[in-house]
Structure 1
Amino acid sequence: MIKVLLADDQSLVLGALAALLGAEDDLEVVATCTSGDQVAAAVAEKAPDVCLLDIEMPGANGIELVSQLAKSHPGLPCALVTTFGRPGYLQRALEAGAKGFLVKDTPAEELAVAVRKIHQGETVIDPTLAIASITSGPNPLTAREIEVLQEALTGVGIETIAQRLHLSAGTVRNHISSAIAKTHTSTRMEAALTANEAGWL
């Protein structure tokens, strides 16, 4: 039996995934988590063979969890199963060490096959998303521009962003100008929304 851990903050989705995978003869769902901060303890207690993680969850997001588990449990394959099929998310997930990236509308049979392949050491990526990732290119933003746009996404002004990141207002404006140019937008909020939609933040 392949033991599977599922993490998703939407109870209906979590229940559906558990039912679909649990119906397979060789798969057993040994743990379900509704927030990212439950995953480490569940992995330690249940010793799953494969983890399927949502991206956007309270506690810790799926990409952060993949990175954490790669350090605490090397060799434990993790895949992201998400509603948000954004190319930037795929790139960040693979960099973190994910062995799979699937969207939630993947048919049940394909999801079960993906779990088996990931357990065997293969990497499984939604083909449509893989093509989108290749055509969209890499994330053009620097680490500091990402931090600035993450703050801008909350709607705060430049002075507040500067205080939060311990930068001068002028430096923040420079990072925002650069990010606006790279995202082909005209305001900091547009740049933040565009970058977020691409999965770069």
Structure 2
Amino acid sequence: MTIRLLLADDQALVRGALAALLELESDLEVVAEVGRGDQVVAAALEHAPNVALLDVEMPGIDGIAATAELRTQVPSCRVLIVTTFGRPGYLRRALDAGADGFVVKDTPARQLADAVRRVNMGLRVVDPTLATETLTAGVSPLTSREQQVLRAAVAGGTAGRMAATLHLSEGTVRNHLSAAIGKTGTTTRAEAIRIALDRGWL
């Protein structure tokens, strides 16, 4: 039986290379390709893939949010995250969102094809090195509101501007920033953002 695949990656060259490699396998067929996270569900509804291979960082919505949407709207489609960013926090968040597997893009083609087959069979596939790092790193100490404020801080701007964007008081934004700085063991907003991004907490 042929396994129908949906590829989602914002880099056209990467998407094309993945498609070419996977289609060398006689039992795999790429039926749809998209370059944005917010196009994933529509493409899955239209093309009925068995497995969606999603990058994490994409415009529209990221691959983790797209995973959660797929699990709700197209539950028959399994999800394999294939990303450059092997960050422990990403793995934990992806699995929490309902991903069936998580591998990095430098996985050899044969192993990637095998991961697709295993995910299609209902098995969970996780990069072993990343799994170890995730267990070592532990869970994110940030609350959802602290994550939201740090995400807003990535774009820069004053606490007042962030407060207006998030519909919070300026004092509340400052409190959340202060808490996030403390929990990341840093001393500045920029350092807290860097740590949270590096660990995949945002």
**TM-score category of the 2 structures, normalised to the smaller one:** over 0.9
* Partner of residue 48, structure 1: 49
Evaluate the alpha carbon distance shift between residue 171 and residue 41 of structure 1 in structure 2; reply closer, same or farther with a 3 A threshold: closer
Give me the TM-score of the superposition, normalised by structure 2.
Answer: 0.96
Aligned-pair CA distance for 1:157: 1.1
2 CA distance for matches of 1:106 and 1:131?
17
1:57 aligns with 2:66: no
| Alpha-carbon distance between aligned partners in 2 of 1:101 and 1:140, rounded to the nearest angstrom | 22
* Aligned pairs, number: 201
Deviation at 1:196, TM superposition (A): 1.4
Q: How far 1:41 moved relative to its partner?
A: 2.2
SS at match of 2:102: strand
Tell me the distance in 2 between the aligned counterparts of 1:41 and 1:55: 18
Contact kept in structure 1, 2:41 and 2:74, CA below 8 Å: no
The one-letter code sitting in structure 2 at the alignment partner of 1:167 is L
Other-structure match for 2:69: 68
**In 1, distance between residues paired with 2:193 and 2:52?**
30
Q: What residue in structure 2 maps to residue 165 of structure 1?
A: 166
Mean CA deviation greater in 157-166 or 128-137: 157-166
Unaligned runs of 5+ in 1: none
Are 1:141 and 1:179, in contact at CA under 8 Å, matched by a contact in 2? yes
**Bigger mean CA offset, 29-38 vs 126-135:** 29-38
**Which moves more between the two structures, 69-78 or 138-147?**
69-78
What is the percentage of aligned positions where both structures have the same residue?
A: 58
Runs of 4+ in 1 over 4 A off after TM superposition: none
For 1:106, give the aligned amino acid.
T
| Structure 2 spans left out of the alignment, 5+ residues | none
Aligned-residue CA RMSD (Å) = 1.0
Task: List per-residue Cα deviations over 1:63-121 (Å, max 9, x = no partner).
Answer: 11110011101132111100011111111100100001110000000000000000000
Residue 129 of structure 1 corresponds to which residue in structure 2?
Answer: 130
